[in-house]
Amino acid sequence: MEPEATSDAQGAAETLRWRSLPVVDDFPRSALLIGVAVAVCAGAGVSFGGLGYALLAAAFLAVALGRYFLPTWYELDGDGVAVRFLGRTRRVAWTEVRRTQVHREGMQLSPFAGPSRLESFRGTFVRFAGNRDEVVSFVESQVAAHR
């Protein structure tokens, strides 16, 4: 799904919406990941002597890699960011974002003023889908406007 940008009639901040599905968006690396996951499951089945162990390993990997294999929808607007995954939506207001950090695959939105080990639990990661510059520009302008 291509990223889309819309704005309302009153000229308020535009809204960015897109879907991220890394298994499709990053296919060469995805093929390697799938191969490794299959090898791990097969190795567990052979090592422990049963198909059940291979299925158990597959279940653990499916849970651990869910965000990679299942789609996540993002919506950024003038109020904040909404991240929807498996029917659950997490909303973060721009006033809660104290620091941003741009990575290769996405952007970390942190409620902490400085680096913290809790960022991966309390922060929000917004994954790019071919819209890196647009997302970074939008987030930085919104965070600056709401300080």
CATH number of the domain at 108, please: 2.30.29
Residues 101 and 39 in one domain: no
Residues 51 and 80 in one domain: no
Q: Give pLDDT, residue 83.
A: 97
Q: Which whole-number Å values give the CA distances from 11 to 5, 14, 71, 79, in the listed order?
A: 13, 8, 30, 14
Residues 125 and 140 in one domain: yes
Full residue range of the structural domain in which residue 34 is found: 27-67
Q: Which whole-number Å values give the CA distances from 32 to 12, 23, 45, 94, 130, in the listed order?
A: 43, 11, 20, 37, 21
Name the domain count of the chain: 2
* pTM, 2 dp: 0.82
Residues 133 and 84 in one domain: yes
Q: Give pLDDT, residue 26.
A: 86
Residues 81 and 12 in one domain: yes
Residues 82 and 140 in one domain: yes
* Mean pLDDT, 10 residues at a time, the chain of 147 residues: 53 81 89 95 94 95 93 96 96 96 95 90 93 96 91
| DSSP letter assigned to residue 10 | T
